Amino acid sequence: MTTQPPPDPGVYISLPQMYQEVQNVSRLVSRMDGKLDGILADNREIKGDVSDHETRIRVLELGETPRQQRDEARLSSLESGRWPLPAIGALTGLAGVVTGVAALFTR
């Protein structure tokens, strides 16, 4: 007859030890929950900032700001007032040529 080895007693975890571990896990989950709430609040704030910046960039790209419209009007008025300058230069040159030719023939 062979003798059986005594059964392995294994690991014994008492009820107070299990309760303590559950309490530790609960504290860790509470800390992680608080950190996640902070991250989510920061994320909402960042989304708001990005949305605001995108809106402002779109307005600038379209040229709809009062300053851009005012500058565009000033530039248009300056460009329209500049057209006679080449004509005046051409007329002055032509007058010089006519004067030179007249001086040449009057001698």
**Does the predicted model carry a pTM greater than 0.75?**
no
Q: Is the pLDDT of residue 1 over 70?
A: no
Average pLDDT of the residues of the chain = 88
Residues 6+ apart with CB under 8 A from 59: 65
What is the mean pLDDT of the segment spanning 75-101?
Answer: 86
| Residues 2-54: tens digit of each pLDDT | 788 777 778 888 999 999 999 999 999 999 999 999 999 999 999 989 999 99
Q: Which residues, 6 or more positions from 65, have their beta carbon under 8 angstroms from its beta carbon?
A: 59
Measured in whole angstroms, the distance separating CA 35 from the mean position of its chain's CA atoms is: 27
